[in-house]
Structure 1
Amino acid sequence: MASTSRTRVDLSGARVAVAGLGASGKAALEVLGTLGMDALGVDHSEAAIEAAAEQHLPGRLAHATSDEDFADLATRDRDIVVVSPGITPHTPLYARAAERGVEVISEIELAWRVQAPKADGSFAPWLTLTGTNGKTTTVTMTSAILTSAGLVAPAIGNVGTPAVLVAARGGVDALPAELSSFQLHSTSSVRALASACLNIDDDHLDWHGSAAAYAAAKARVHRGTLRACLYSRHDDATRQMVEEADVTEGARAISIGTDTPPLAGLGLVEDMLVDRAYHAERHTQGVELATLADLAHLAPGGSLPGHVVIDALFAAGLARAADVPPEAIAAGLRSFAPGAHRIETIAEIDGVRYINDSKATNAHAARASLTGMADGSVVWIAGGLAKGARFEELVADVRPKLKAAVLIGVDQEPLATALAAEAPEIPVRVIDPAHRSVMAAAVAAARELAGKGDTVMLAPACASMDQFANYALRGEEFATAVRNG
């Protein structure tokens, strides 16, 4: 198992503020206190301050009454600010930090700096990945593969226990890390053993300000990579990221695709997942890692979505960079269980299948789910917080799959306009945003539109926060509405 040799960053004497006391912020405050740091937690919410106080977290706590007050409290007499991923770079905090020479870092960056060494003094390697879609599936697949190889390798980042807690406690062999564009924006010194960008499509434009800024944040995943940078052969933008990346000398570019793998690539040969990147005979032959049968349990209705195969190939590529043997790849993929709210079949009622894909929070994810369905068979429940996106291209792409659409969300204009322009023949039901039970009304409308052999699919293509606390609650309410009939 490859390890990473590096010098732990010395934070002794640093005065650190934690800006935002959500799960990752509270974890950061806990770790800083354990290290004996001068730590300050700041939040706009009195409830968040009270919750932190009730947990007896170390450090001082401060309640901010405005954005300007928040910026001032978090940067006054501080050397470093650990910033919540919910705080955009356009808020006063970033400007005030720049004025005062205060470094702004993510919780991921803090995790890298405080990571506990292994018994031999080396550090567990990180396997980092990002992308517009498929991150959680791929990172948990990677963790499952590493676990099958007998390694302690919990998934961190946007999933599971906050990364800073896992890293500071130590006792791990590898750290597969799912990194969002928000986290990468303020991450600078992470040097992964292997890194990957699965795909890139416009998303979170309201947070980053432009598609170029969003892509630039994603590209940071490759910075300093030690051994392998993975990209999609089906997505030129991810290839360009690798070509332009400032990596450690000797790091290789590894391509991933569902076609026959070229040299320095992973791909498919008939029903086999094949590696032509990491073994000595790669110039003349590939190594079988798994078969599509090892992924059969991930096929809703018996049809294996193409993006699941891609995710599996990326996971295999990351694991191979950590010297995982081929037999552990197949075993890990067979043991992998997908998380809730991702292409999850809830029930089949009167011949109609109900699928919860609430985690499809952007157009790219919704497209991947819908294109795997039979033509003319989907009653699509969509809508929510569009995050500045438009949907004409999405609707044009999935139009053959649609039988009808049901729109939820406070801002229904982007999807309604796209459907009217690109699929005018598709019946559309609109749920009043003020309805007492939005999801129950949406499921009832979809049930009326669906017939035997059809699929009602919640694949919103939008974030959930306009009407739900998060995508998980949106998915749970969908499942409840389906089961209640």
Structure 2
Amino acid sequence: MTWTGKRVTVAGLGVSGIPAARVLRGLGAHVTVVNDGDDERSRAQAAELEALGVTVRLGDGATLPEGTELIVTAPGWKPDKPLFLAAAEAGVEIWGDVELAWRLRGHGGRKPAPWLAVTGTNGKTTTVRMLASILQAAGLRTAAVGNIGVSLLDAVLGDEPYDVLAVELSSYQLHWAPSLRAHSAAVLNLAPDHLDWHGSMEAYAADKGRIYQGNQVACVYNAADPATEDLVREADVEEGCRAIGFTLGPPAPSQLGVVDGILVDRAFVTNRQKNAQELAEVADVNPPAPHNVANALAAAALARAYGVEPAAVRDGLRAFRPDAHRIEHVADVAGVAYVDDSKATNTHATEASLAAYDPIVWIAGGLAKGATFDELVEKSAKRLRGAVLIGADRALIREALARHAPEVPVVDLDRTDTGAMSAAVREAARLARPGDTVLLAPACASMDMYTNYNKRGEAFADAVRELAAERD
């Protein structure tokens, strides 16, 4: 595509819009940025872009600028925005920042790096970072990019080319990336999420499934989640592309799985009907919770699809360190383990977190985002020693506990101030016995009490350390 003089509208300032505007202006396009907000931060960002020759319209994200030939949107902008409806009427194409990066990956004669792509309701970031660690252990120049880490635009346009990219993609990003064709891709799991944006579970799943379109080598799916395999069946892939499953049990042919504490490959071996390849031990996965072992198997499958040797899978998993607030062990106090999984902001993630420990004093609550908790509580009730509830929508969890776990003691903290976490930890300590785990896995968003889940996790960790200091 010739960019010089092309009139491009960028929808949204922020982590994707600003880099897109800079890149497009550098390519010679006439760039107009439209943004709903008009606050102090937006005005400062606008001034920086205007110094580069970009036109910025603040407080007006609904009107299509005259002469627009292409829209590049921030992934969070909903498809029913008036700007996009006007674009559809005018026949103007809409791309996301991922689509822009995909189209630019060979710009200027660069050799395009293959993409190993990951999506799913939960576990994307961990899996992509595990994958990048494995690729690095194999001696490859790589980065974790996309919805994480390095900007995709920076990755594809940098002076030093990458050998291969580990790419995290959200459902929003996939919705706006129609021409993406990955080397190999994985859908880790599917559970209701962001339905207010997509409109339905069917639309959400369809956008997740876009990651498989045009795959060249492998479509990796979760054998325990049939919906992910259904997406593979529906995908139009290149001839010879294979369906590769991962499972926490012994693997069938064309799967990766676990046998006697060993991660095993029966997909990328000769004579997979009879042979298997040891990749690593479950103990090499940090932490070795079941859902994290599943993440490791998905990462290993993508790495093996790219031709990585088994030893690099082992070394990469051993070198991997999880991000904060993802089933992070904070401390042991009086024989009780305190674990921070503040990132468990929905019921699907919390179910996986609860499945990793037994018995548990569960700290939960926050903004439910329309979620219901009956199924979660019913599945996890036998593991619960007690529950401590905080946040705006804690009553929904309390009612589910009353229905499905009436014998479990519940402390309902009627407060949403940031100091509630210290009280919650102390109440949990009162309920816990030596050998138990106090687990922060809120099943809810944090914004009723905290800026984000990181701040919530930090408050939990601070409260645990205060408790430990008092009991030393």
Q: Which moved more, 1:193-202 or 1:349-358?
A: 349-358
CA offset digits 1:236-258 (Å, max 9, x no partner): 11111000111122211111112
> Would you say the 8 A contact 2:418–2:449 is kept in 1?
no
CA distance in 1, matches of 2:83, 2:7: 16
Gaps of 5+ in 1: 1-8
* Residue 152 (structure 1) aligns with: 141
Q: 2:272 aligns with which of 274, 278, 282?
A: 282
CA distance in 2, matches of 1:482, 1:218: 38
CA offset digits 1:125-163 (Å, max 9, x no partner): 000111111111110010000000111110011210221
* Residue 470 (structure 2) aligns with: none
Q: Which moved more, 1:422-431 or 1:177-186?
A: 422-431
Which amino acid is the alignment partner of residue 58 of structure 1? Answer: L
Q: 1:314 aligns with which of 292, 298, 301?
A: 298
> Would you say the 8 A contact 1:41–1:62 is kept in 2?
yes
Matched, 1:252 2:242: yes
* Residue 417 (structure 1) aligns with: 399
> Would you say the 8 A contact 2:9–2:31 is kept in 1?
yes
* Residue 30 (structure 2) aligns with: 38
* Residue 369 (structure 1) aligns with: 353
CA distance in 2, matches of 1:270, 1:436: 44
CA distance in 1, matches of 2:162, 2:249: 35
Q: Check 1:260–1:118 CA distance in 2 against 1; reply closer, same or farther (3 A cut).
A: farther
Matched, 1:52 2:45: yes
Q: Check 1:54–1:340 CA distance in 2 against 1; reply closer, same or farther (3 A cut).
A: farther
The TM-score, its normalising length taken from structure 2, stands at 0.92
The structural deviation recorded for 1:54 is 5.7
Q: Check 1:321–1:58 CA distance in 2 against 1; reply closer, same or farther (3 A cut).
A: farther
Which amino acid is the alignment partner of residue 439 of structure 2? Answer: M
Q: Percent identity?
A: 48
The structural deviation recorded for 1:110 is 1.3
> Would you say the 8 A contact 2:390–2:416 is kept in 1?
no
* Residue 460 (structure 2) aligns with: 478
Q: Which moved more, 1:183-192 or 1:421-430?
A: 421-430
CA offset digits 1:364-414 (Å, max 9, x no partner): 11111111111xx32211122222221110010111111222222223343
Matched, 1:399 2:388: no
Which amino acid is the alignment partner of residue 54 of structure 2? Answer: R
* Residue 423 (structure 2) aligns with: 441
Which amino acid is the alignment partner of residue 131 of structure 1? Answer: G
CA distance in 2, matches of 1:379, 1:61: 54
The secondary structure found in structure 2 opposite 1:71 is coil
CA distance in 1, matches of 2:296, 2:451: 30
Which amino acid is the alignment partner of residue 61 of structure 2? Answer: F
CA distance in 2, matches of 1:59, 1:346: 49
The TM-score, its normalising length taken from structure 1, stands at 0.90
Q: Check 1:311–1:187 CA distance in 2 against 1; reply closer, same or farther (3 A cut).
A: same
Which amino acid is the alignment partner of residue 322 of structure 1? Answer: Y
The secondary structure found in structure 2 opposite 1:164 is helix
* Residue 164 (structure 1) aligns with: 153
The secondary structure found in structure 2 opposite 1:72 is coil
CA distance in 2, matches of 1:465, 1:107: 26
> Would you say the 8 A contact 1:205–1:387 is kept in 2?
no
Q: Check 1:280–1:210 CA distance in 2 against 1; reply closer, same or farther (3 A cut).
A: same
The structural deviation recorded for 1:63 is 4.2
CA distance in 1, matches of 2:444, 2:284: 31
The structural deviation recorded for 1:47 is 2.9
Which amino acid is the alignment partner of residue 217 of structure 2? Answer: R
Q: Check 1:352–1:132 CA distance in 2 against 1; reply closer, same or farther (3 A cut).
A: same
The two structures, once aligned, show a CA RMSD in angstroms of 2.1
Matched, 1:16 2:8: yes
> Would you say the 8 A contact 1:156–1:176 is kept in 2?
yes
CA offset digits 1:431-477 (Å, max 9, x no partner): 33443523233323323333333222111112223332221122112
Q: Check 1:183–1:280 CA distance in 2 against 1; reply closer, same or farther (3 A cut).
A: same
Matched, 1:350 2:343: no
The structural deviation recorded for 1:46 is 2.0
The secondary structure found in structure 2 opposite 1:21 is coil
* Residue 25 (structure 1) aligns with: 17
CA offset digits 1:226-284 (Å, max 9, x no partner): 11101111111111100011112221111111222222221223232222222333243
Which amino acid is the alignment partner of residue 360 of structure 1? Answer: A
CA distance in 2, matches of 1:59, 1:414: 51
Q: Check 1:149–1:352 CA distance in 2 against 1; reply closer, same or farther (3 A cut).
A: same
The secondary structure found in structure 1 opposite 2:362 is strand
* Residue 229 (structure 2) aligns with: 239
> Would you say the 8 A contact 1:41–1:59 is kept in 2?
no
* Residue 450 (structure 2) aligns with: 468
The secondary structure found in structure 2 opposite 1:85 is coil
CA distance in 1, matches of 2:140, 2:263: 22
Q: Which moved more, 1:101-110 or 1:230-239?
A: 101-110
The secondary structure found in structure 1 opposite 2:61 is helix
> Would you say the 8 A contact 1:40–1:59 is kept in 2?
no
CA distance in 1, matches of 2:203, 2:166: 25
The structural deviation recorded for 1:117 is 6.0
The structural deviation recorded for 1:55 is 4.5
* Residue 5 (structure 1) aligns with: none
CA distance in 2, matches of 1:284, 1:45: 63
The structural deviation recorded for 1:40 is 2.0
Q: Check 1:59–1:367 CA distance in 2 against 1; reply closer, same or farther (3 A cut).
A: farther
**Structure 1 residues 109-128: aligned runs within 5 Å:** 109-116=99-106, 122-128=111-117
Q: Which moved more, 1:398-407 or 1:13-22?
A: 13-22
* Residue 3 (structure 1) aligns with: none
**Structure 1 residues 324-363: aligned runs within 5 Å:** 324-363=308-347
CA distance in 2, matches of 1:180, 1:277: 27
The secondary structure found in structure 2 opposite 1:254 is strand
CA distance in 1, matches of 2:429, 2:100: 48
* Residue 4 (structure 1) aligns with: none
Gaps of 5+ in 2: 468-472
CA distance in 2, matches of 1:480, 1:80: 48
The secondary structure found in structure 2 opposite 1:443 is helix
Q: Check 1:436–1:357 CA distance in 2 against 1; reply closer, same or farther (3 A cut).
A: closer
Q: 2:63 aligns with which of 72, 86, 89?
A: 72
> Would you say the 8 A contact 2:112–2:156 is kept in 1?
no
The secondary structure found in structure 2 opposite 1:70 is coil
> Would you say the 8 A contact 1:205–1:389 is kept in 2?
no
The structural deviation recorded for 1:116 is 4.3
